[in-house]
A and B are shown apart, each in its own frame.
Chain A
Amino acid sequence: MDDGPSERCWVHIGPEPIDAAGLLARVADRDAGAQVLFTGTVRARTGGRAVRHLEYEAYVPMAQAQCREIAEASCARHGACRMAIAHRTGRLAIGEIAVAIAVSAPHRAEAYAASREAIEALKHEVAIWKREVFTDGSRWVYGCGS
Chain B
Amino acid sequence: MRLEVLLFAEARERAGTDRLAIELPDEPAPTAGAVLETLARQPELAELVPRCRLAVAHRLAAGSDPVQPGDELALIPPVGGG
Contact = CB atoms under 8 A, between A and B. Distances in A.
B77 interface: yes
Contacts of B55: 59, 62, 127
Given A59-B8, A127-B8, A129-B8, A141 B58 contact: no
Contact of A128 (B6, B59, B74, B80): B80
A122 B81 contact: yes
Contacts, number: 67
Nearest to A125: B79
A57 B74 CA distance: 14
B76 A126 contact: no
B65 interface: no
A84 interface: no
B74 A130 contact: no
A87 interface: yes
Interface of A: 40, 56-59, 61-63, 65, 87, 98-99, 119, 122-131, 140-144
Interface of B: 6, 8-10, 55, 58-59, 74, 76-82
B8 to A, nearest CB: 6
Contacts of A129: 8-10, 77, 79-81
Given A59-B8, A129-B8, A124 B79 contact: yes
Contacts of B81: 56, 58, 63, 87, 99, 122-123, 126-130
A62 B28 CA distance: 28
Contact of A61 (B8, B10, B58): B58
A59 B82 contact: no
Contacts of A123: 79, 81-82
A131 B10 CA distance: 9
